[in-house]
Amino acid sequence: AQTVTQSQPEMSVQEAETVTLSCTYDTSESDYYLFWYKQPPSRQMILVIRQEAYKQQNATENRFSVNFQKAAKSFSLKISDSQLGDAAMYFCAFSPLAGEKLTFGTGTRLTIIP
Amino acid sequence: DAGVIQSPRHEVTEMGQEVTLRCKPISGHNSLFWYRQTMMRGLELLIYFNNNVPIDDSGMPEDRFSAKMPNASFSTLKIQPSEPRDSAVYFCASSLTNQPQHFGDGTRLSIL
């Protein structure tokens, strides 16, 4: 069974600064997908970024990028130029294939300080 | 394009009552997932369907829970009888093969 661990229940960052959210996982699979989802107070689950394990290049989506370390089973999310709208719960998630069930971490609540 | 549509958005009912949650996946998607979110257990998968067939229902808590997908455009999650510990936010998500899941806005269920 896969497990996903987010060791930071809460983080805060000054507006316009950079913050990194941590995630580690455990799996015996060699091919899999990793995701970061954002859940604002509206409770929607919004896909932020995804990474295929077979790709060595780290995924990037505008101000969001990941540091994927497959050997260490680490998948951190970096948010650059933080904005007030980035305030939310962030969940790291794993699936053996992109369209299969997700295993979520416990989440990190990110606060943006104006 | 319409996203995943869930109804109702909120449901408040008394324990012992039957509760039915509904989900309309994105048109063309072939996989559908039901998740439950609570403070204690976080987000956990209850069941998922592929091409309308249940693939993994190992997360369904007990016999009081049942889920159906009679066609590609509709699914229900039913709780009968409901208990206070079933109070949670229930999410439905859908996806295409090898594509990320898209989530609905969730149903907040409160059992009194």
Q: What is the mean pLDDT of chain B?
A: 94
CA distance A15 to chain B (A): 27
pLDDT surpassing 90 at residue B98: no
d(CA B18, CA B53): 24
Average pLDDT of span B68-93: 96
The residues near B41 (Cβ < 8 Å, ≥ 6 apart) are none
With CA atoms as reference, the chain B residue closest to A92 would be B43
pLDDT beneath 50: ranges in chain A: none
Q: Is A101 part of the contact surface with chain B (CB cutoff 8 Å)?
A: yes
pLDDT surpassing 70 at residue B1: no
d(CA B87, CA B47): 17
